[in-house]
Amino acid sequence: MTANNLFDDSLLQLYSRKIYGFALSKTGHEQNALDLSQEISLGLYRSLRAGKQVDNMDAWVHTTVRRFYSR
């Protein structure tokens, strides 16, 4: 999986909704959830651009989102 693949329209829509839903459940506020989901998406993108190889995208996104929020 590459950065370009993650931001293919269908994958972007799928993961954006999941990330936003997680962020909203944690923050309870729409604007904070939008901000948090944008930061998480950017972090995912940067990791892939840096050469991160991902075999299981669902598991990687889930783990990354949880770790990002726990900072």
| Residue-range domain boundaries for the chain | 3-69
Fold of 3-69: Rna Polymerase Sigma Factor; Chain: A (1.10.1740)
3-state class of 55 per DSSP? coil
| Rg value, the chain, Cα | 12
pLDDT by residue, tens only, the chain of 71 residues:
555 565 555 677 788 889 999 999 999 999 999 999 999 988 888 888 888 888 898 899 899 888 887 76
With DSSP H G I counted as helix, E B as strand and the rest as coil, what are the percentages for the chain, rounded to 5? 80, 0, 20
Quote the pLDDT of residue 42: 87
The pLDDT assigned to 71 comes to: 67
